[in-house]
Homo-oligomer: A and B are copies of this chain.
Amino acid sequence: MSGKGNVTISEIARECGVSKSTVSRVLNGKPDVLPETKKRVLEVVEKYNFQPNAYAKGMLGKRSDCIGVVIPHDIDYIFKNQYYAETLRVILKTTRERGYYVLLICCHDMKEAVDAVMQKRVDGLILITPLPEHKPAMMTFLNCKIPFAAIGRCQFLPEAYQVCTDNYQGAMLAMEHLFSLGHRKIAYIGGPNFLPSSGERSRAYLDAMRANGILVLNEMMQDGSNSIESGAVATKKILETCPDVTAFFVASDYMAIGVENAIRESGKSVPKDYSVIGFDNIPIAEQISPSLSTIDQQIEAKGEICANLLLDLIEKPEVEQKRSVEIASTLCVRDSTAVVRSDE
């Protein structure tokens, strides 16, 4: 027993006194092998803990049983935001269940993803929140006939398989919730401009305010970068310029944490003085204090659907799949929203 982990099929074959072909058949569960032969081979395979070399398999155009998960954003941004951690978690879970390895690629310009594809390291790709600037890379995947699916809308490439949230509908839900509690002077803190979802959410905010006949002052709308701190900064500005605001609709839970912090630091309280509603429903939303009302964008469902979609694309290329799946968001009411304060 060499113990070096470099046992090959030939050595197994020799030790069993059969040919490589036979060992291969046993390994791959092919029919037409004498039960005794099979048993003997399996014993030796077991003995050495033999695993066929993944490269040799890959050479034959077999699947690599490895997919790439690509997050084409700044790595510091990604790992500070629980949204990506959650998405990654469910993708990892789903792909594991179906027997795939995951190559994790966090690369702004997708170069490494393209390389991995050209090098045939992966059977397919999940792209998390791709942006219009990633279209050339995605065209390459199309040309290479590499299956890929995106989490997040890709209006710039309708041919791409995509699983996305209805951000407009979700944002409307948040606004309706606040209106139902009697709020009218509602401030909005938006996400970074480069994310298409930011635009969809702010559009819903404006439409809802307009539909209710409420004037939106410029000062009532601030942009953040999705960090906790940026949420706090935006809140301070709003509190200074529009103290008569009674509620905040915040485009991400992470920023909403900052909003709660800033309100508390200003000596006011949530939800007595100000209601706050976030967007995403990341796990920490229910664990902060007061727990955060938010829009559940079904991170788990999206990740699971997208992962299964990709693996179906890989395993059953002949089966037609839906190009675009849109998931409705739901309202999640916790302790950070309440009936409007009555001091006005």
Contacts and interface: CB of A to CB of B under 8 A. Distances in A.
Interface string A1-14: 00111100000000
Chain A, interface SS category? helix
Contacts of A51: 115, 118-119
Q: How many A residues touch the partner, as a band? A: 35 or more
A104 B92 contact: yes
A53 B115 CA distance: 10
Residue from A53, A118, A146, A261 whose CB has the most chain B CB atoms within 10 Å: A118
Interface string A79-106: 1101001101100110010000111111
A229 B121 contact: no
Contact of A5 (B4, B79, B105, B145): B145
Per assembly, the copies of the chain total: 2
A76 interface: yes
Contact of A143 (B4, B88, B229): B4
B58 A284 contact: no
Interface in A283-297: 283-284, 287-289
Contacts of A56: 55, 59
A121 to B, nearest CB: 5
Given A75-B92, A79-B86, A85-B85, A58 B54 contact: yes
Q: Nearest 5 CB-CB pairs, A to B?
A: A5-B144, A55-B58, A51-B118, A79-B89, A261-B289
Given A55-B120, A75-B93, A261-B289, 6 more contacts: A4-B145, A5-B143, A5-B146, A55-B58, A55-B59, A264-B289
18 contacts: A6-B144, A49-B140, A52-B119, A53-B58, A54-B119, A55-B120, A75-B89, A78-B89, A79-B85, A79-B86, A92-B106, A96-B106, A101-B103, A101-B116, A103-B103, A260-B289, A261-B288, A265-B289
